[in-house]
Amino acid sequence: MTEDKMKSYKFEKLEVWQISLVLSDIIYEVIKRLPKEEDFNLKGQMRRAVTSISLNIAEGSTTSSDKEQANFLRIAFHSTIEIIACLKLIERRKYLKPNDPLMIQAYEETNHEFAKLSAFIASLK
């Protein structure tokens, strides 16, 4: 299928989904810098959480009611909180320093997603 014939989906236009893609890219870069011993712990947890954000925003965009969409957005919100907690553990275990440019970027983008999800959920009430 050529690019000009690809269907566009509602979620692709959502700013909160576009932010989730940027966040995902950043978190995957953080994951690359974690030690091997975290392969089945922090790395896996962070992959699942950051992926959950994008997928729940997308899935919620197809629902028939604001209440149902808000439920999916809340799941994405909780996954965003999970990413913040993982970043704190990374710092605590001294895998990356808080002033590392990648960590600064990760916190900024996570906070951006947090704020946008909060506002989107509030707008659906």
Q: Are 68 and 20 in contact (CB under 8 A)?
A: no
**CATH 1.20.1440.60 correct for 12-28+39-123:** yes
Q: Is residue 8 over pLDDT 90?
A: no
For 72-125, write each residue's pLDDT tens digit. 999 999 999 999 999 999 999 999 999 999 999 999 999 999 999 999 999 998
For residue 67, which amino acid is it? Answer: K
Lookup result for tokens 């089945």: 40
* pTM tops 0.75: yes
Q: Based on the number of CB atoms within 10 Å of its own CB, is 119 exposed (0-12), middle (13-18) or buried (19 or more)? A: exposed
